[in-house]
Amino acid sequence: QVQLVESGGGLVQAGGSLRLSCAASGRAFSADNMGWFRQAPGKEREFVAGISGSGSSTHYVDSVKGRFTISRDNAKNTVYLQMNSLKPEDTAVYYCAAARGITWTFDYWGQGTQVNVSS
């Protein structure tokens, strides 16, 4: 089993920034595609960003392109989500997720970290 632990959430004003971290253990981290998802109150969980095992490929939902950056440090078994120019609609619980190797089907999930953006 894979264990994922998110941190870095909090309350910020619109236009501010936050950096989320996800510490992973239990698998060959560098071989696994990783992603960030979010779930706003009353909404379905949605994909936010993804990154390949080597970090060479990244993917973003259109609403965060140009504002969010996903990255990873395989030596530290950690994935990051840098969030800039935050908007109230970014308010959600953010979840880290891991796929099995090179697939984009996410099988392992963290507990989530709350991000609140005030207007």
Whether 64 shows a pLDDT value over 90: the answer reads yes
pLDDT at 49: 98
Strands 92-99 and 113-118: antiparallel
Spatial distance between the Cα atoms of 6 and 83, rounded to a whole number of angstroms: 14
- CA end-to-end distance (rounded Å), the chain: 40
**Nearest residue to 111 via CA among 19, 20, 33:** 20
Whether 1 shows a pLDDT value over 90: the answer reads no
pLDDT at 47: 97
pLDDT at 92: 98
Among positive and negative, which fits the CA dihedral 31, 112, 6, 73?
positive
Whether 28 shows a pLDDT value over 80: the answer reads no
pLDDT at 26: 80
